[in-house]
Structure 1
Amino acid sequence: MTGTANTLVLLDIAIEEFARRLRLVGPGDWRRPTPCTEWDVRALVNHVVGANVRYQLLLHGAQPDQIEATRSVDHLGDDALASFVATAGRMVACFHEDGALERVAHHVIGDRTGSELVSMRILDAAVHAWDLARAIGADETLNDDVVAFLLAYSLDLELGPQGHAFATTYADVSRNASPQDQLLHRLGRHPNTEEIR
């Protein structure tokens, strides 16, 4: 399996990680707080579904202002799970188009190739799957292969103010911490506490 093929497999896994938690969201869960302090569960899910839409636009040459306009849209409608599944399916299909991984897209943080966008999407879907699990009290364990990939990928990330959902925190992390805990700490999460931050 090539590196590119592997990242597309990991994208599928990360999407399923999020869908698995989304299937567990009940009617009383939508206003629960999440580790992303500015978002409740509904806003978090809307962000992830909206990102599926944004990545389709990116891969098809949309300009940053057109893409940013989607952030104020309600992408969930009456069936959040159906919206997530449909938009994720269309996004994945875009990544499989001929030449998609070599295209240069105009992301708000700078131009990125389609291949770079795959990695960014894996990060967003997987870590927000953890956020959603924390918010609703579901299983927080992420796929080992996804965690290993993101640990390596996130080493070179610059997560400044524009990456508000992934605010870095360099608190001391035990050398015995699991790979998932190391990743979550790197991305500003607090996996070993009960708090929602």
Structure 2
Amino acid sequence: MTVGIREAYRRALDGCAAQVQRVGPGQWRDPTPCSGWDVRTLVNHLVQECLFVPELLSGRSVAEVGDLFEGDLLGDDPVKAFDVAAAAAVRATAPPDVLGRVVRLSFGDVPCEEYLTELFADALIHTWDVATAVGRPVRLDPELVRLCTEWFAGAEADDTQALGEHPGTDPLTRLLAAWGRHG
């Protein structure tokens, strides 16, 4: 990545925050492109991911964190919950040695850089999901789309989601199709 993963993750969260902040009071129950999820459920998922970051980067395992972040994490102010959780996640990625750490996930240990890359991709795609759910066109940061596309192309994807199966389309459309979205 030409942009470091910490910066890419921060920028993806910033873009997502901009969309979350624009969700209207009557739009939290609108369906999203994520099957079975409404906007509130999707944002709750993102908050949960963000809240795990400081815990996991401090050396705790998913098992040790347990069900601490289960249930409704949004309360009466979903925007504030997202902003607070995203800021905590970004702060947790700041230490100079963070990328050398190992993150203890439910399926095994992974390098921190890999963990943050997955979080970055999730935040970027879900930015599009939130905007789409509430009927707003969104232009994702082209540099982040390129970085995510490069990462996804290098990751092991099943044949039905391979980026190469969407030739001749712009990078965002190809990336969205690889993630099962139609942009």
Q: What's the TM-score once normalised by structure 2's chain length?
A: 0.89
Partners of 1:86 and 1:136 in 2: CA distance: 22
Residue 180 of structure 1: which of 164, 172, 180 is its match?
Answer: 172
- Give the equivalent residue in structure 1 for 2:54: 56
Residue 24 of structure 1: which of 15, 22, 25 is its match?
Answer: 22
1:69 to partner: Cα distance: 1.8
Partners of 2:164 and 2:109 in 1: CA distance: 33
Tell me which stretches of 4 or more aligned residues in structure 1 moved more than 6 Å.
none
Partners of 2:137 and 2:49 in 1: CA distance: 23
Q: 1:156 to 1:135 in 2, by over 3 A?
A: same
Partners of 1:68 and 1:11 in 2: CA distance: 24
Q: 1:159 to 1:58 in 2, by over 3 A?
A: farther
| Alignment check: 8 A CA contact 1:54 1:70 kept | no
Once the two structures are superposed, residues 46-73 of structure 1 have per-residue CA deviations (whole angstroms, 9 ceiling, x without a partner) of 0001100012211112222244524522
- Give the equivalent residue in structure 2 for 1:194: none
1:88 to partner: Cα distance: 1.1
1:140 to partner: Cα distance: 2.4
Report the residue type matching 1:129 in the other structure: T
**CA RMSD of superposed structures (Å):** 2.2
| Alignment check: 8 A CA contact 2:44 2:72 kept | yes
Unaligned stretches of 5+ residues in structure 1: 161-167, 192-197
Once the two structures are superposed, residues 19-57 of structure 1 have per-residue CA deviations (whole angstroms, 9 ceiling, x without a partner) of 111111111111111111121110000000110001221
Residue 135 of structure 1: which of 133, 156, 164 is its match?
Answer: 133
Unaligned stretches of 5+ residues in structure 2: none
Which aligned pairs between 1:1-197 and structure 2 lie closer than 5 A?
Answer: 6-67=4-65, 69-70=67-68, 72-158=70-156, 169=161, 174-191=166-183
| Alignment check: 8 A CA contact 1:95 1:114 kept | no
Is the partner of 2:154 in helix, strand or coil? coil
Partners of 2:178 and 2:41 in 1: CA distance: 23
Q: How many residues align?
A: 182
Q: 1:67 to 1:153 in 2, by over 3 A?
A: farther
